[in-house]
Amino acid sequence: MNKYLYILFFLLFPTVLLAQVEAGLNREPLKVIYINKDVSTHLVSPEAVSYVDLSIADIAGDLPQSNLIRVKPTKEGASGVITIVGERYMTQYLLVYTDDLTKVYSRYNIPYDDVRSYLNAESSMTRSQMYDYAYQMFISTNRFYNVATKNFGLRTMLNNIYTINKYFFLDVSILNKTNIQYDIDHISWRIEDKKKSKATNFQSIEVTPLMELHQDRSFKRDYRNVFVFEKFTFPEDKVLVLEIDEKQVSGRVIRLEIEYSDILHADAFIRK
């Protein structure tokens, strides 16, 4: 019996070993990007980059922007592999040194054809996708008409609430009926008690948006923006508060309260 087991082992061992070796091989050749010590090569990612690895110390690299990678060899002949991981993709390139500057990329836009998806449990939507959805909502028609506030000649309105996957998109606009430009100092979102009392147990919890569509901080007549949040809930005795402060000593403070019942009426966004 042992004799047959030994024979079976030696017959199967090469197959197992070959499978282990093949598992570590690249099934497809890496795309080549030529580099030179006199040129900085910029790789533009379609989404925010979360991780970069350079296989050789003789190639320097950094991230000037969240979606921009800059690499440059520090000496002649330096070649290696760069691994780039985005929010939901991974790709690798072979950086090859060349003296022919006509072959060297100063800018390379990473196409989706170059990337391979990988499972990232923390991200079901990339920032570029968030921006795309938020812009579609920005140009959509208003669905909420009864959630608004007016003060200091400023009318603040909740236009829409949409939900996609595990995210909320809140669309808000402000109409300035005065002739004084409004300069935004700070925007905050909080969950607060509906009824404020003199008791010391009043609760206020700040909620931070994952993204906002526009970064405009001044407006004369109209302001509109879409804020993206990870889904959250709160009791009916609390409200979601948007508060905007003006850059003035006695600045006009904008405050909009959103009931939980309004959050429950969030529409599932269907892209047209």
pLDDT at residue 176 tops 60: yes
Whether residues 150 and 181 share a domain: the answer is yes
Confidence tier at 218 by pLDDT (50, 70, 90): very high
What was the pLDDT predicted at 157? 94
Residue 25 lies in a domain: yes
What was the pLDDT predicted at 221? 92
- Nearest by Cα to 258 from 207, 199, 197: 207
Residue whose entry in the numeric block shows the structure tokens 């070649």 = 79
Residue 96 lies in a domain: yes
Percent of the chain with pLDDT over 70: 82
Beta bridge partners of 51: 85
Mind listing the pLDDT tens digit for each residue in 153-174? 999 999 999 988 888 999 999 9
- Nearest by Cα to 111 from 84, 81, 131, 148: 84
Q: Which of 71, 100, 122 is the last residue of a domain?
A: 122
Percent of the chain with pLDDT over 90: 49
Q: Residue 129: what are its φ and ψ, rounded to 5°?
A: -70, -40
Residue 254 to residue 139: CA distance in whole angstroms: 23
Residue 91 lies in a domain: yes
Please say whether the beta carbons of 29 and 114 come within 8 A. Answer: no
Q: Across the chain, what does the average pLDDT equal?
A: 83
Mind listing the pLDDT tens digit for each residue in 40-66? 999 999 888 889 999 999 999 999 998
Residue 109 lies in a domain: yes
Both tokens of 159, joined, read: 């236009």
Task: State the Cα torsion 232-233-234-236 to the nearest 10°.
Answer: 140
Mind listing the pLDDT tens digit for each residue in 81-129? 999 988 777 889 999 999 999 999 999 999 877 777 655 555 567 777 7
* Domain assignment of residue 137, given as a range: 130-268
| DSSP per-residue letters across 155-208 | EEEEEEEEEETTEEEEEEEEEE-SSSPEEEEEEEEEEEESS--SSTT--EEE--
Both tokens of 177, joined, read: 């009926």
Confidence tier at 263 by pLDDT (50, 70, 90): confident
Whether residues 143 and 239 share a domain: the answer is yes
What was the pLDDT predicted at 197? 59
CATH code of 30's domain: 2.60.40
pLDDT at residue 144 tops 50: yes
pLDDT at residue 38 tops 60: yes
Residue 198 lies in a domain: yes
What was the pLDDT predicted at 20? 41
Whether residues 138 and 30 share a domain: the answer is no
Total domains present in the chain: 2
What was the pLDDT predicted at 10? 44
Whether residues 235 and 144 share a domain: the answer is yes
How many CA atoms, within 13 angstroms, populate the side-chain half-sphere of residue 143?
16
Whether residues 31 and 153 share a domain: the answer is no
Mean per-residue pLDDT, 250-261:
88
Residue 152 lies in a domain: yes
Q: Which of 72, 100, 122 is the last residue of a domain?
A: 122
Greater model confidence, 135 or 28: 135
